Amino acid sequence: MTAIRHHIPDDLLMGYAAGALPQAFDLVVATHVSLSDDARARLAGFEEVGGAVLSDLEECEIGEDSLQQTLAKIASMAPTPRAKPSKGVFPKPLRDIVGGDEDAVKWKSVGMGAKQAVLCSEDGVTARLLYIPAGQAMPQHGHNGMEMTLVLKGAFRDEDGVYARGDIEVANQDVDHQPIAEPGEDCICLIATDAKLRFQGLLPRIAQPFLGI
């Protein structure tokens, strides 16, 4: 576990615990929690609230042969194997959706050596991987909605400081920022956005439909 300096806000952890987030945000939260014991413990706290709500529910009627049917289901299911500690750059939830680790990503060039891969997209909520060469800037952009950025490899810097593996940045419409990859190592981030970003300047604005972000 690396020391994480930029943590995820409580409302996103509670949203994940309650099952209220869109898929793209669920993916970023599950990946971040895989890298941060602090987030894992805070999430577990919010899940205890769910456990208490469940316990206090009034029982409802279940089918007469429910138990027998469930035992039949059990017999037909394969046992769940114990998880193995993961190796590689991507934690399991990300590996599952990519279909492998870093080398399995189907990157598309977005110019200047930067690459991206869209992982899922529904109702304007998108998760994608972004690859920024060391020392290079992302276009400066603001947000119409919320953007979560989780660093998986390398690091980037913006007005709020340096973000390294496991660090998460949550930006809303008030933030206009220009992340720059730190020199030394290329940077890979997992990003979820819930609306189109607003880029500053004419050229990136033209590129925006092409970037699909």
Tell me which residues in 30-59 interact with another protein (CB under 8 A). Answer: 30-31, 33-34, 37-38, 40-59
How are strands ordered across the β-sheet holding 155-158?
Answer: 161-164, 155-158, 180-181
Cβ proximity to another protein: between 38 and 186 the closer is 38
CA distance 18 to 1: 26
Q: Could you give the 3-state DSSP secondary structure of residue 142?
A: strand
Alpha helices in the chain (DSSP H): 10-18, 23-35, 37-55, 66-76, 92-98, 202-211
The footprint of another protein on residues 60-99 (CB under 8 A) is 60-63, 66-67, 69-71, 73-74, 77-80, 82-86, 91-94, 96-97
CA distance 89 to 152: 7
The span of 9-17, 99-107, 136-144, 153-161 binding another protein (CB under 8 A) equals: 9-17
CA distance 20 to 194: 14
Cβ proximity to another protein: between 195 and 207 the closer is 195
When asked if residue 151 is in the footprint of another protein (CB under 8 A), the reply is no
The footprint of another protein on residues 98-127 (CB under 8 A) is 120
- Rounded least distance, CB 77 to another protein, Å: 6
Cβ proximity to another protein: between 3 and 78 the closer is 78
Cβ proximity to another protein: between 80 and 202 the closer is 80
Rounded (10°) CA dihedral 73, 79, 85, 89: -50
CA distance 90 to 213: 22
Cβ proximity to another protein: between 28 and 138 the closer is 28
Q: Could you give the 3-state DSSP secondary structure of residue 12?
A: helix
The span of 28-36, 107-115, 174-182, 202-210 binding another protein (CB under 8 A) equals: 28-36
- Rounded least distance, CB 109 to another protein, Å: 27
